[in-house]
Structure 1
């Protein structure tokens, strides 16, 4: 994220009724208006964007602040435009490095670049997730996919498609908090996560929700199984419904900041 002083300045400018703050507010409004929620569209030219547009409107995990952007330089005053950004690492479509869950685990700057380009496998549990917000990807789902499409390729990236992004434009529906404030959304069962790592040899695992685990999880078993094995996760993927179940290649444009536990990334599928 931004240096603490930049973050402080961004918030100070937003709070101060100055000419600069008015420009910033106008810029934020324009940026928000220009950033509609991602939706599933057919791939164009064999390239499909699996990334949500990062904006203040995008849902975040309960308690995490939203992404903010504040203009700090203008073309009319010096010839260049520039924004100060403030966000927590796990915002938007983002990577979970092993260090996110495992003390001493690999950080974003040491994730193997060869693991960021991989065969893409999409396992669809959307029909079940539409009936049950707490649905989880299971070993049976994985085996069913393999019976239809063949064995999961070695060193693949496996993505769970739950259809949850249909709620992306409504943060309350996406978080789906119950009367006790607990979130409900699909994820990956811990034993299925371990199966993907141990039996299928995946390099990474992705979901179209806020967490690798189903949102009600308290032991975070899927995170532990995936990140604990030195693999990475990607959360809040977009457009998985438009991606083929097999045959595509995923490219994860992962962040590379020293000591990072994760960070927003640009993910594309080459179909």
Structure 2
């Protein structure tokens, strides 16, 4: 894959979409927040078991560009000062993290500006692990969403819809990111699915892989359509194999730094 070509395509797509989505983002965010409030009754059905959907972030956690996502520098030493403190250098899109609308739009919503109502939401898990076992670049498609609805009922407005591909089990191995020849290869969402979910006022999508788009994507179609619409994404989720298809409530511990395009997050689910 030509990374430079991909990056240039993304830049051009972002510029051409900026005017289109500037109004849509505000409208989308308002609709999502309203949907989240409407979905409140769905949040009261949990028994109280908490499952951490967050990977531990360290220097070895895989990143899209292969550069370590976090670096530590000792700022205060315990032996000399009686307490200890690290200075951290962190790339926003590292570990289990949020993609805010600003990540793929010039003037979209930052991670600090995400509506709080969208950060506590019903969780719907679509299992494509069988497809992913056959195809490393498998996608959640519209047909998968429709099959989920047929089996489990309507997806609530304001929900987070997460892809369980089984990819989290590959963290710590080269296969989480690449094929043996170095090509990106991991599952993600297809635009047919996210377009359908956008029409349902879903607040967020999540993946247990490195990116919302599959590894072989050349145009980041999901990033370029989902995020500028005022919605957010979560990448590198853990423990989705412990989640029911429906019935859990997601708590998204989004960072709140100004101008943030995203950032590492603590994601918890209550079943």
- What range is the shorter-chain TM-score in? 0.7 to 0.9
Shift of 1:173: 1.4
Give 3-state SS (helix, strand or coil) of 1:228's partner.
helix
How do residues 86-101 of structure 1 correspond to structure 2 at under 5 angstroms?
86-101=89-104
Q: Which has the larger radius of gyration?
A: 1
The CA distance in 1 between the partners of 2:196 and 2:219, in whole Å, is: 17
* Aligned mates of 2:90, 2:179 — CA distance in 1: 22
**d(CA) in 2 for partners of 1:211, 1:128:** 17
Does residue 205 of structure 1 match 2:208?
Answer: no
Q: Is the contact made by 1:186 and 1:213 (CA closer than 8 Å) also made in structure 2?
A: yes
RMSD after superposition: 1.6
Aligned to 1:30: none
Q: Does 1:81 align with 2:81?
A: no
Q: 1:148 aligned to 2:151?
A: yes
The answer to whether the 8 A contact 2:59-2:68 is kept is no
Q: Which runs of 4+ in 1 moved over 6 A?
A: none
Query: What SS does the corresponding residue of 1:100 show, helix, strand or coil?
Result: helix
Offset of residue 63 of structure 1: 4.1
Is 1:54 the counterpart of 2:57? The answer is yes
Query: How far apart, CA to CA, are the structure 1 residues paired with 2:73 and 2:243?
Result: 34
Which structure is higher in helix share?
2
| Unaligned residue ranges in structure 2 (runs of 5+) | 1-46
Report the counterpart of residue 161 of structure 2 in structure 1: 158
Aligned to 2:258: 258
Q: TM-score, normalization: structure 2?
A: 0.80
- Is structure 2 residue 181 aligned with structure 1 residue 184? no
In the alignment, the residues of structure 2 paired with residue 154 and residue 87 of structure 1 have an alpha-carbon distance, to the nearest angstrom, of: 33
CA shift for structure 1 position 178 = 5.1
How many residues end up aligned between the 2 structures? Answer: 226
Counterpart contact for 2:61–2:68, Cα < 8 Å: no
2:230 aligned residue? 230
Contact 1:178-1:184 at 8 Å conserved across structures: no
Residue 251 of structure 2: SS of its match in structure 1?
strand
Residue 269 of structure 2 corresponds to which residue in structure 1? 269
Query: Equivalents in 1 of 2:81, 2:74: separation in Å?
Result: 13
SS at match of 2:62: coil
Paired with 2:198 and 2:159, the residues of 1 have a C-alpha distance of 10
**Rounded Cα–Cα distance in structure 2 between residues aligned with 1:160 and 1:208:** 7
Is the 1:197–1:225 contact (alpha carbons within 8 Å) kept by the matching residues of 2? no
8 A Cα contact 1:93 1:265, kept in partner: yes
What corresponds to 2:176 in structure 1? Answer: 174
Match of 1:25 in 2: none
User: Which has the bigger relative contact order, CA under 8 A and spacing at least 6?
Assistant: 2
Q: Quote the residue 1:34 is aligned against.
A: none
Does 2:86 correspond to 1:67? no
Structure 1 counterpart of 2:14: none
Which position in structure 2 is the counterpart of 1:112?
115
